[in-house]
Amino acid sequence: MSRVLVTGGGGFLGARLVARLEADGHDVTVARRADYDLTHREDAERLLADASPELVFHLAAEVGGIGANQAAPGRYWYANLMMGAHVLELSRLAGVGKLVVVGTVCAYPKNTPVPFRESDLWIGYPEETNAPYGIAKKTLLVGAQAYRDQYGLDSIFLLPANLYGPADNFDLETSHVIPALVRKMLSGEQTVVLWGDGSPTREFLYVDDCAEALALAAERYSGPEPVNLGTGVETSIRELAETIALLTGFEGDIVWDTTRPNGQPRRSLDTTRARELFGFEAQTALRDGLERTIAWFREAHRASLV
């Protein structure tokens, strides 16, 4: 049994990871923003002192879709950078045995060749609508590698694809594409307006699969190189919208608002490293995961659905 700290442990991914770790018998401390604001060093110091962890998973982040990133680019850059920097430095000072830092696929350059390989992280600038967030997260990779070199901190950096699943954030102002589509298509409206032209592609990783990947990486991987977590399956936003319409029974009109940005043109990950380094392969097909997500949303919002 290990003493484990999970920052962001009350969140969408964090809750799944905590359940996975507790099932293995670990003593897990869950850090929530209401108790510890990790953008403040004194809160981060207090957290590490309270938890006295041997293993830290840094999941805490401020995240959102294109609209949220456009509305608060400075906040997304600052909050994600400061939280990560504090966790790195204070994990070092506390003598943490291992630190797992969760990055983002948004760190990749806008025109990265598909499939995205970890060696391509530095070939260009990220897609403009989420660049501040992506760059803040990518800076933590540099920090993790530097702390490994200088201080011997066993820190690893993982890059998950777009996550989705039950209990996701379905707030239309801040949600990502899958929960936003599910909510819109179950709202009772006859017309759903979507940003862009539907041509961009994304890769989607079911949240429980991602939690499993984090646990496996912590157990089996120790190295400086970043590692992609995903399915290797590329899906267009148009295809995704049509699939969710079918699964929700939406029979209205889908309108593409081409005055709105598309975001990054394509995203799909090379997941070879994860398979070879710690034996991770995603188990949940997109359609199966969407069915579970839609079923959860119907049950959780039964009273409000028409």
Provide the phi-psi class of 179: left if phi over 0, else alpha when psi is between -120 and 50, else beta.
Answer: alpha
Give the active site residue among 76, 133, 147, 221: 133
Residues 6+ apart with CB under 8 A from 248: 182, 185, 186, 294
User: How deeply is 114 buried, as exposed, middle or buried, from its count of CB atoms within 10 A (0-12, 13-18, 19+)?
Assistant: middle
**Tally of CA atoms within 13 A in the half-sphere of 165 that contains its CB:** 19
CA dist., res. 273 & res. 5, Å (int): 25
Q: Are 224 and 145 in contact (CB under 8 A)?
A: yes
Q: What is the DSSP string of 110-129?
A: TTPPSSB-GGGTTSSPBPGG
**What is the C-alpha separation between 235 and 124, in angstroms, rounded?**
23
Residue 133 catalytic? yes
Neighbours of 149 (CB within 10 A): 10
| DSSP state letter for 130 | G
Enumerate the active-site residues: 133
